[in-house]
Chain A
Amino acid sequence: MFRRSGPTDCEITWNGAPIPAREGESLAAALLAAGIAQFRETAVSGSARGPLCLMGACFDCLVEVEGVANRQACLVMVTPGLSARTQQGARETGA
């Protein structure tokens, strides 16, 4: 889908697996560059979604970052070792 035209300088993890990234780029860019198209499953039907706008408006790039759900991957900047996961459907209530 996308390829990089420049180098990477660190690693982050996506669902526990390491992927290359560049510090300071958006998490969304790092995931797309690694060939990851699906960022989440929707809360309503569980269908696959990835980013639409990459400017903070569409909320289709929501992922879990360092255990915090509903983070916009286009507005989270890459830091070395950052850990993110697919957001699965709706939030569960209760413990």
Chain B
Amino acid sequence: MREIPLLILGAGPAGLAAAAEAASQGIQALLLDENPAPGGQVHRAVGGFYRPDPGAPGADQAAEGLALIEAASASGVECRYGATLWAIQEDGVVTWSEGGAAQQALASVLLLCPGATERPMPIPGWTLPGVMGVGAAQILMKTAGLLPEGKTWLAGQGPLLWLYAAQLLDKGVTPAGILDLSPPGIPWRALPHLPMALRAPGYLLKGLDWMRRLRRAGVPVIKAREVAALGRDRLTGISIDGKEMEADLLLLHDGVVPNTQVTRALPGCAHVWDSAQMSFRPVLDEWGNTSLNGLLVAGDGGGIGGARAAALSGRIAALEAARWLGRLTPEQRDALAGPLLHRRSAELAPRALLDALYPPLPMARVADDTLVCRCEEITAGRIRAAVALGAQGPNQIKAFLRAGMGPCQGRVCGPAVHALMAEARGVAPGALEPLRTRFPTKPVTVGEIAALADAG
């Protein structure tokens, strides 16, 4: 079996920066990503199809992404795209599928940079074709130049919603309206975090600029409480606090959560409930070490920090990988990482304010007949009923209802099922054990597995 010193999963900002840093420390890394090109979700198709004009919303970020992609490419790191990792064994053997065949390698150090996914936002009718994530629509814009047509509504909260809406305006598309579901009233709870956030004012100024562009263009921003998607086989309308409007596209967003699908499948890899971000994340030290020797996590997969913090975490973790591999002494690592650790703290400064401004939408609002687990089509009411029968958490609900056991393996419904059960039990979400995942973490065909035998 092929032996490699460092395997990096994920070619987003963390993975790309880590690959380049590892190369500069003389480490030949192997970088795997299931997408067809580098960039992750945030820098998707940057340098390829997505080339925003200078000054357009998101253009600065794309320029940073292009620099990361070019640096990784220049470093000579071996990148495999369209390569889906689906198993990690305790002895360091990693299995992935590529071009319809499985492959394996033995990695001395593993650095996982799995990024984030959009937090699920269960509302009535959210399974109708024509309802999707704001992030999904942005991916269509970046990778294929698709722009919404007809009456397009954005509902939810968080920076990405405002960025994408501003990007649409820039492309000449005027949304029908923005349904702001963020908590009502003046967000006093966020105020204590404002001074810290002002240490990196760029983020806040950008956000305010996006909002100003939308207001100036006359896009209605409606403070709403309840939104529902209406239609039979596809979206035809929406209901805003009971008032019906025509709709061709409804885009939902309630922030992002760390993608812990792989780390949760690793026995002994400790996770902790982050009460500020309202999500689980792996327990990490400042270098990105998990509770397992030689297994590191960098980027949003270890806690949401954004693209710049992710790239810095990737470099810091690569230096720690060099220490694991005997390439750097701890003193050499410290000297190289010092400025990076400092810059990362600065990039994370606005995070507490954002977390306090946009707490996830409360599960108490989700009606009993709303689907929560989309794959197995399990409603909030059935989950609440199972809690009343004694189901303690997401791992018991699997046996009761199969929620979290469909093709997505809990990637989408997981956070919603978890929050709903905690709310129904009247306990803090951190008191419930997170949904356990298992390898293969992506569906795999028997034919793909059989290819391993052919490879010997």
CB-nearest residue of chain B relative to A70?
Answer: B443
Residue from the list A26, A38, A42 in contact with B234, Cβ < 8 A = A38
Interface of A, helix, strand, loop or mixed by DSSP: loop
Give the distance in Å from the alpha carbon of A22 to the alpha carbon of B407 in the complex. Answer: 28
Task: Specify which of A1, A39, A47 lies most central, judged by the most chain B CB atoms within 10 Å of its CB.
Answer: A1
When A1-B248, A56-B34 are in contact, do A50 and B129 touch as well, CB less than 8 Å?
Answer: yes
Q: Are B136 and A29 in contact (CB under 8 A)?
A: no
Give the distance in Å from the alpha carbon of A37 to the alpha carbon of B407 in the complex. Answer: 20
Residue from the list A33, A50, A51, A58 in contact with B408, Cβ < 8 A = A58
List residues of A (3-50) whose CB comes within 8 Å of B's CBs: 3-6, 22, 24-26, 29-30, 32-33, 37-39, 42, 44-45, 47-50
B104 on the interface (CB 8 Å rule)? Answer: no
Q: Are B130 and A50 in contact (CB under 8 A)?
A: yes
Give the total number of A-B pairs whose CB atoms are below 8 A apart. Answer: 125
Give the distance in Å from the alpha carbon of A42 to the alpha carbon of B128 in the complex. Answer: 11
Q: How far is the CB of A87 from chain B (nearest CB, A)?
A: 11
Residue from the list A2, A22, A52 in contact with B149, Cβ < 8 A = A2
Q: Are A59 and B406 in contact (CB under 8 A)?
A: yes
When A2-B147, A38-B233, A70-B407 are in contact, do A53 and B248 touch as well, CB less than 8 Å?
Answer: no
Q: Write the B106-147 contact mask toward A (1 if CB under 8 angstroms, else 0).
A: 000000000001100000001111111101100110011111
Task: Specify which of A24, A37, A39, A49 lies most central, judged by the most chain B CB atoms within 10 Å of its CB.
Answer: A37
* Residues in chain B near residue A22, CB distance under 8 A: 144
* Residues in chain B near residue A2, CB distance under 8 A: 140, 146-149, 249
Give the distance in Å from the alpha carbon of A58 to the alpha carbon of B413 in the complex. Answer: 9
Q: How far is the CB of A47 from chain B (nearest CB, A)?
A: 7
Q: Are A54 and B145 in contact (CB under 8 A)?
A: no
Q: Are A54 and B140 in contact (CB under 8 A)?
A: yes
Q: Offer 22 A-B interface pairs, CB within 8 angstroms, sorted by A.
A: A1-B148, A1-B149, A4-B147, A5-B146, A5-B147, A25-B144, A26-B144, A29-B143, A32-B140, A38-B233, A39-B129, A45-B377, A49-B374, A52-B136, A52-B374, A53-B118, A53-B133, A53-B135, A53-B136, A54-B139, A54-B140, A68-B445
Interface residues of B (CB under 8 A from A): 34-36, 41, 49, 82, 117-118, 126-133, 135-136, 139-140, 143-150, 171, 233-235, 248-249, 259, 374-377, 406-408, 411-412, 443, 445
